[in-house]
Amino acid sequence: MTQEELLDDLALRRLVQDWAVWRDAGDWERFAGCWHDGARMMATWFQGPATDFIEVSKAGFAKGVRILHFLGGISVDLAGPRAIVQTKMTISQRAEVEGVLVDVVCTGRFYDFCEKRDGRWGVVLRQPIYEKDRLDPVDPTTAPRLDPALLAQFPEGYRHLAYLQTRIGYQVKRDMPGLTGPEVAALYASGATWLAGEALDR
């Protein structure tokens, strides 16, 4: 790795860490600086421009919605001014489900299409990969009675997260990438073409 590549690698690692800290803290001005113009965000409950994602996140934060992130290992694939950054993560959300306050924790990866423009790295597209999740009552002496038919409608990797988000009023996308399957295979293929210099096809 050259010195320039090492500096790029460090900048990308800082980028994904800043993203999580600033979003969860509600530091919206600095959070906006993580993205490039025209960037997009994909999530269970939102798909669209990053500028809109910031605004809906800000509105939800003001209403008490808490979707928190914790990061693990980071893998960076560099190709000149482009990169794919994968970050192990958990997404946790607390809300009332079927009359019981619960925590849902979803484990997966952030899969980020990043680009260096005018000397600055930013996210062009963030696509989470949802690998597994679980739901726990905050009070362990109680448990919600989930609707099994509704629960079964969602992919295994984010089944409980989708259930919670649906119950509190979000429209949840039902074909997000998981650990295996055609959706994640298509994502990896898009990442390869991005690193090869082709236009983003997602």
CATH number of the domain that residue 34 is part of:
3.10.450.50
Neighbours of 152 (CB within 10 A): 10
pLDDT tens track for 117-143: 999 999 999 999 999 999 999 999 999
Residue 200 lies in a domain: no
Residue 60 lies in a domain: yes
Which residues fall within 8 angstroms of residue 149, CB to CB, at 6 or more apart? none
Residue 198 lies in a domain: no
Q: What percent of the chain has pLDDT over 70?
A: 100
Residue 81 lies in a domain: yes
- CA–CA–CA angle 188, 74, 79 (5° rounding): 55
pLDDT tens track for 168-185: 999 999 999 999 999 999
The total of structural domains in the chain comes to 1
pLDDT tens track for 90-123: 999 999 999 999 999 999 999 999 999 999 999 9
Residue 48 lies in a domain: yes
- Nearest 10 degrees: Cα torsion 96, 154, 24, 21: 150
d(CA 135, CA 155): 15
The region of weakest confidence among 43-52, 63-72, 83-92, 178-187 is 63-72
> Which CA distances in Å does 109 have to 1, 35, 86, 90?
24, 18, 6, 8
> Which CA distances in Å does 183 have to 127, 148, 155, 188?
11, 24, 11, 9
Residue 58 lies in a domain: yes
Residue 11 lies in a domain: yes
Q: In terms of residue numbers, what domain contains 54?
A: 3-191
Residue 154 lies in a domain: yes
d(CA 99, CA 177): 30
DSSP state of 157: G
Q: What percent of the chain has pLDDT over 90?
A: 96
d(CA 175, CA 34): 26
Q: What is the pTM of this model?
A: 0.95
